Amino acid sequence: MNPLTNTTILLVDDNLDSCDLLRFRFEEAGAHVVTAQTVDGALGAFRRCPAHAVIADIRIGTSDGYALLKSIRDTNAEYKAFTPVIAVTGFASPEDKDRAMAAGFSGYFAKPFNPTDVVESVGKLLSSPRNLAA
């Protein structure tokens, strides 16, 4: 059985190549994948069908992953849930990583990244008892 069978992953990135690469790896691992290229699109998808985990770029068009993270955390609080959100970004300084982690991201990958590492990270996060979302 694939490690992410029966999980839904929301990928949020305005770079279609990044989305396609991650989608392929997550689907290989057995996940159902939903993609969005905007924060509004991601929030709509998340509210319709909450994902088990979210992978989001920090810079998404005219908005950012921080706004998306805040909205997901607000939704989590309303439903007493927790959804791991992992940042993938071209902003790759140690300060950028510290800011993302302090903001509440569950993980951080600087572009370019190995998509298999992202999939493995999600698998580990979802196997933790704290992270029982969706």
Domain boundaries, the chain: 8-124
Report the predicted TM-score, pTM, of the whole model to 2 decimal places. 0.91
Residue 134 has pLDDT above 60, yes or no: no
Residue 39 has pLDDT above 50, yes or no: yes
Q: What is the 3-state secondary structure (H, E, C) of 82-93?
A: CCCEEEEECCCC
pLDDT at residue 31 in the model: 97
| Backbone phi, psi, residue 2, to 5° | -70, 145
User: Which CATH number describes the domain made up of 8-124?
Assistant: 3.40.50.2300
User: What is the sign of the dihedral through the CA atoms of 68, 86, 33 and 111?
Assistant: positive
Return the higher-pLDDT residue of 79 and 122: 122
Band (pLDDT 50/70/90 cuts) for residue 129 is: low
